[in-house]
Amino acid sequence: MIFFLQNLVNALQWGSFYALIALGYSMVYGILMLFNFAHGDIFMVGAYIGFGVATGLLALVSTGMITAPNWMILVLTILFSMILTSFVGMIVERVGYRPLRDAPRASAAITGLMIGIILETGNLILLGARRVSFPALIQTETYNLGGVYITNKKIMIVVVSLALMLALHQFVQRTKWGMAMRAMAYDYTVVPLMGVSINTIARLTFAIGSALAAAAGILFGVAYPVLDPYMGIVFGWKAFVAAILGGRGSVLGATLAGFLLGFIEIFVAMIFPSTLRDLIAYSIILLILVFRPHGFFGEPYSARLRL
């Protein structure tokens, strides 16, 4: 039982990352019918921007120019990085996707792959191949709850992720911008005729998705403090799986599927030999997709789509 609970806690943390990244994929796919394969690398860029911001703020604190406790630095790091990374997302959209909006889908999909490679190698040239160590902003405290070990980092990661997902849900459901995004997901050829600018909505979608990826990147840096330029590739693929599993453009679906993926990976390794983890985990996902080809909350393409 304790063993099960321990793995549950681990899975919650692991699933948070998948869910946060899957949301970005899912929104872009839902609204613009694009596979943004560069999203995993935007997660990487977000983590590196977070590294830069955190290092900068720590340097300012050490020179005495500002005084701030470490948790405040973390909050500021998350905020600044989300804003900066959302600009990266908007640039990617402007440079890579807008010119190709009417091009065949395959061209737009490979654009994502190319932008991903550009971001990876750009980082490699800029910072070199050395891995960087994300600064330890919170002192790890481990709590032993009857044999289940929980750290303050794990709690923080899960809480911040859930808060961001809830905020996104509220934004999409309650605001005018959110309504415009849902309308665009419904039909992106007709809605512009009603006076909603597709360029603005596309930019907004990329900005939000990238900001969430940046948050995921920083939380990842807090939990696994070794960053490298290729950290986003496999992670991005897996989050993409979660996005599709959740159903096209569904916020709730992407969140649930992200957590589910985390749970499956952790629990498969718990029950079976860990060598077989990915083999079994992704066979299960494949099986789910066979029975629910449109994901949990997706609808067949003939029916109308919603966000």
**57 Cβ contact partners less than 8 Å away, ≥ 6 residues apart:** 66, 68, 73, 76, 77
Q: How big is the site for other proteins, counted in residues (CB under 8 A)? A: 40
Distance in Å, CB of 79 to other proteins, minimum: 24
Structural contact between residues 204 and 181, judged by C-beta atoms closer than 8 angstroms: yes
Alpha helices in 193-305 (DSSP H): 198-223, 232-246, 251-271, 277-291
The smaller minimum CB distance to other proteins, of residues 128 and 293, is found at 128
The smaller minimum CB distance to other proteins, of residues 52 and 225, is found at 225
Rounded Cα distance, 155 and 302, in Å? 42
- Residue 136 engages other proteins in binding (rule: CB under 8 A): yes
One residue of 267, 285, 295, 297 binding other proteins per CB under 8 A: 267
- Residue 282 engages other proteins in binding (rule: CB under 8 A): no
One residue of 73, 202, 231, 241 binding other proteins per CB under 8 A: 231
- Residue 245 engages other proteins in binding (rule: CB under 8 A): no
* Residue span binding other proteins (CB under 8 A) among the ranges 29-37, 177-185, 197-205, 218-226: 218-226
Beta partners for 145?
A: 148
User: What is the three-class DSSP state of 34?
Assistant: coil
**177 Cβ contact partners less than 8 Å away, ≥ 6 residues apart:** 171, 204
The two tokens of residue 46 are 């977000």
Distance in Å, CB of 50 to other proteins, minimum: 16
Q: Residue 22 to residues 32, 159, 254: CA-CA distances in angstroms?
A: 15, 17, 6
One residue of 110, 149, 173, 200 binding other proteins per CB under 8 A: 149
Beta partners for 227?
A: 132
The smaller minimum CB distance to other proteins, of residues 1 and 303, is found at 1
Distance in Å, CB of 160 to other proteins, minimum: 17
- Residue 20 engages other proteins in binding (rule: CB under 8 A): no
Residue 100 DSSP class: G
Could you tell me what percentage of the chain is helix, strand and coil, using 3-state DSSP and rounding each to the nearest 5?
Answer: 75, 5, 20
Applying CB under 8 A, which residues contact other proteins?
Answer: 3, 6-7, 10-11, 13-14, 124, 128-131, 133, 136, 140, 142, 144, 149, 151, 153, 220, 223-226, 228, 230-231, 233-234, 265-267, 269-270, 273-275, 277-278
